[in-house]
């Protein structure tokens, strides 16, 4: 009786041909992006804000500060006026 060939699960010589089925690109994209907002930071910003928590704290502080400042656009109430046709 022949022995079954044991395959080492840590063997890194597997090729894509050995895998069962085909991979589907973007299969879980909708599930991942449903409750997540990902933003790519520039390297300069990432050095200043190295963690997710530091970025969130900075943005929340900026949002609170912007609420306390007067409107800098000079418009009263944010309404726009239509120009008269010449």
pLDDT, tens digit, 9 for 90 and up, residues 38-47: 788 999 999 9
| Residue of 72, 45, 79, 71 whose CA lies nearest to 59 | 45
Q: What is the pLDDT of residues 12-34, one digit of tens each?
A: 676 667 667 777 888 888 887 78
C-alpha 5/C-alpha 11 separation (Å) is 14
Give the SS3 label for residue 20.
Answer: coil
- Measured between its terminal Cα atoms, the distance across the chain in Å is 99
Whole-structure pTM value: 0.42
Query: Do the Cβ atoms of 45 and 36 come closer than 8 Å?
Result: no
User: How many of the other CB atoms lie within 10 Å of CB of 45?
Assistant: 13
């Amino acid at each position: 009786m022949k022995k079954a060939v044991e395959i080492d699960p840590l063997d890194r010589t597997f090729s894509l041909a050995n895998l069962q089925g085909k991979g589907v690109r973007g299969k879980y994209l909708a599930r991942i992006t449903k409750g997540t907002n990902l933003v790519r930071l520039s390297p300069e910003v990432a050095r200043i804000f190295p963690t997710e928590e530091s970025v969130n704290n900075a943005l929340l502080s900026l949002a609170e500060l912007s609420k306390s400042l007067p409107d800098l656009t000079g418009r009263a109430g944010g309404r726009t006026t239509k120009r008269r046709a010449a």
